[in-house]
Amino acid sequence: MTVVVRETSETNIRCELTRGSGRANVATGQPFLDHMLVAFSRYSGLDLTLQATGDLQHHLIEDVAICLGAAIAALLPATAARYGDRSIPMDEALVHCALDLGGRPFYRPLPSTLYDHFMRSLSDNAKATLHLRVLRGTDRHHIVEAAFKALGLAVREAFVDSGAVFSTKGSVALRVEER
């Protein structure tokens, strides 16, 4: 289990992430965000317990993404498959997610200001390359929900323990030492 706690003057967040069966217990005070996090958990197969409070919706969404991203990075097995690629159709929306959990953050955006910021913050803190492509769709709810589900399935795929390190560099270690 990985536990990430973030406390600022704007937010207070506790995120627990475990490899499991996709169970979620989420309370952020933002019903749509809760719904997206539960969907992510279910589709990723990761158990998520997340409690969060915040002053503004923007701060809350950003800081939840920071915590979830950090938890994903910490929980990733060294011999994970690393890559995931999934598309989700949801009514008129069709969203594709391509993901590399290999330690290099990069993000290709969504057409939703708040949830674009969520995905960028998650990508940065998971140290993930995350491409989300909206292939079709007009309803932002459907687009964002399809993106969270596609992300969840891509994470599930990337978390598969392959027994091998998927890098021509071999195992990569990064250590920060304080002096």
pLDDT at position 168 is: 58
Q: Which two tokens stand for residue 80?
A: 């994970």
Confidence of residue 171 (pLDDT cuts 50, 70, 90): low
129: closest CA among 107, 148, 110? 107
Quick check: 166 pLDDT over 70? no
138: closest CA among 95, 86, 88? 95
* Higher pLDDT among residues 40 and 111, named by residue: 40
Quick check: 169 pLDDT over 80? no
- CATH of the domain spanning 2-158: 3.30.230.40
In this structure, are residues 156 and 84 in contact, taking their beta carbons and an 8 Å threshold?
Answer: yes
In this structure, are residues 147 and 43 in contact, taking their beta carbons and an 8 Å threshold?
Answer: no
DSSP letter (8 states) at residue 126: H
Place of tokens 């506790």: 14
- Digit-coded pLDDT (tens) for 92-149: 999 999 999 999 999 988 878 889 999 999 999 999 999 999 999 999 999 999 999 9
